[in-house]
């Protein structure tokens, strides 16, 4: 039986769909306040068979609740660990460390204790070392905490827990996705791309990053778990795009005028201070930080050759997924 953590998130919900569709016996953990209806909605995007969702065995547990996790691990042979807290607010560092790092250590320890055959961990390109100059970033880049955001710091520390597990005999594979494009989570994470594009802003941020469809992330994870590959990590990026390019693709499909004016760095610095003051009074979390602005000054281009070579992997067209996402977004928010 397969165990999935983070099954109520973008990657986790799509992973669950593909696993049960392919006939795997699946158990997924969820927190007490999580929304399982949203996962059922994701299933509804792709099938009318309501029984497919009912094939999932749900267990109430949290990755920082070891007694509950011990119950969830009963009779499990393979684990997909996708659960994480995504935040770039420095004030959330302790919580990020608790969930992302300590939570991953719990999963790794239980995998070792229960003799799990293989663990797949979903990390982030934020834990990939930065490149020098115009060189492409790859899996071998040396990582340093300099200029890393708090999310990247805790995910990289989580990777160290996974590698520690591999040294203790646990077979592992790891994926480092860029910005994941997929439907259903419109006002969190990468889903913000669609909600922001809908507002029709004239301005776009400088820089860019790597993007990938949620389908490719899931396909990569399952393929790695089914393969003989162990103790390897893979950059999961299909296209390197500027933020103007990705926003133009989305706004075009939404029938909105694309952004045309690039924000200056001094404007972003002013925005950072307004964001700081807003959070000071409203306590709604930081969205613009010093590290996030700094990351825009050095655009990383990511090399995806390793997964292509090792798995003969072929990426899907990002445009097709954007078209599908825009269609669903428009249906839900006309």
Is a pLDDT exceeding 70 seen at residue 278?
no
Question: pTM of the entire structure?
Answer: 0.93
Q: Is residue 126 part of a domain?
A: yes
Here the CATH number for the domain that contains residue 187 is 3.40.50.720
Q: Is residue 201 part of a domain?
A: no
Q: Is residue 73 part of a domain?
A: yes
**Residue 9: closest CA among 183, 216, 172, 235:** 183
DSSP 4: E
Pairing assessment for the beta strands 172-177 and 118-122 based on DSSP bridges: parallel
**What average pLDDT does the structure give for the chain?**
91
Give φ, ψ of 27 to 5 degrees: -120, 140
Give 273's contacts (C-beta < 8 A, 6+ positions apart): none
Note the pLDDT of residue 114: 97
Which domain does 35 fall in, by range? 2-192+210-239+302-316
Note the pLDDT of residue 271: 75
Per-residue confidence band for 281, with pLDDT thresholds at 50, 70 and 90: low
Q: Is residue 49 part of a domain?
A: yes
Between 35-49, 274-288, 312-326, the lowest mean confidence (pLDDT) is in 274-288
* Euclidean distance between CA atoms 151 and 5, whole angstroms: 18
More confident residue, 94 or 90: 94
**Residue 8: closest CA among 23, 21, 32:** 32
Note the pLDDT of residue 276: 62
Note the pLDDT of residue 275: 66
* Euclidean distance between CA atoms 25 and 13, whole angstroms: 15
**Residue 122: closest CA among 295, 241, 6, 238:** 6
Q: Is residue 103 part of a domain?
A: yes
Q: Is residue 253 part of a domain?
A: no
The mean per-residue pLDDT over the stretch 287-315 comes to: 86
Count how many domains the chain has.
Answer: 1
DSSP 121: E
Is a pLDDT exceeding 80 seen at residue 90?
yes
Give 23's contacts (C-beta < 8 A, 6+ positions apart): none
The mean per-residue pLDDT over the stretch 25-53 comes to: 92
Q: Is residue 286 part of a domain?
A: no
């Amino acid at each position: 039986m397969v165990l999935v953590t983070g099954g109520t998130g973008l990657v986790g919900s799509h992973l669950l769909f593909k696993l049960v569709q392919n006939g795997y016996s699946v158990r997924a953990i969820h927190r007490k306040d999580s929304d399982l209806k949203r996962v059922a909605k994701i299933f509804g995007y792709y099938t009318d068979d309501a029984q497919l969702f009912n094939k999932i065995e749900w267990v109430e547990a949290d990755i920082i609740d070891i007694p509950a996790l011990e119950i969830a691990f009963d009779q499990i042979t393979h684990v997909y660990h996708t659960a994480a807290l995504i935040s770039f607010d420095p004030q959330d560092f302790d919580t990020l460390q608790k969930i992302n790092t300590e939570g991953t250590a719990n999963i790794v320890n239980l995998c070792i204790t229960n003799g799990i055959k293989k663990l797949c961990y979903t990390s982030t390109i934020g834990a990939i070392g930065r490149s020098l100059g115009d060189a492409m970033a790859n899996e071998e880049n040396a990582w340093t905490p300099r200029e890393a955001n708090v999310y990247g710091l805790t995910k990289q520390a989580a990777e160290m827990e996974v590698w520690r597990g591999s040294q203790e005999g646990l077979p592992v594979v790891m994926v480092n996705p860029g910005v994941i494009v997929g439907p259903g989570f419109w006002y969190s994470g990468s889903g913000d791309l669609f909600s922001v594009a809908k507002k029709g802003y004239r301005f776009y941020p400088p820089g860019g990053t790597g993007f990938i469809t949620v389908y490719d992330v899931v396909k990569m994870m399952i393929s790695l778990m089914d393969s003989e590959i162990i103790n390897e990590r893979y950059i999961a990026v299909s296209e390197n795009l500027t933020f103007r390019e990705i926003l133009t693709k989305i706004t075009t499909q939404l029938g909105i005028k694309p952004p045309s004016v690039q924000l200056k760095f001094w404007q972003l610095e002013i925005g950072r201070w307004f964001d700081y003051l807003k959070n000071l009074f409203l306590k709604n979390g930081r969205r613009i930080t010093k590290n996030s602005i700094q990351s825009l000054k050095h655009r990383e281009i990511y090399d995806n050759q390793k997964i292509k070579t090792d798995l003969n992997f072929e990426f899907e067209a990002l445009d097709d997924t954007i078209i599908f996402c825009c269609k669903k977004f428009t249906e839900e928010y006309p």
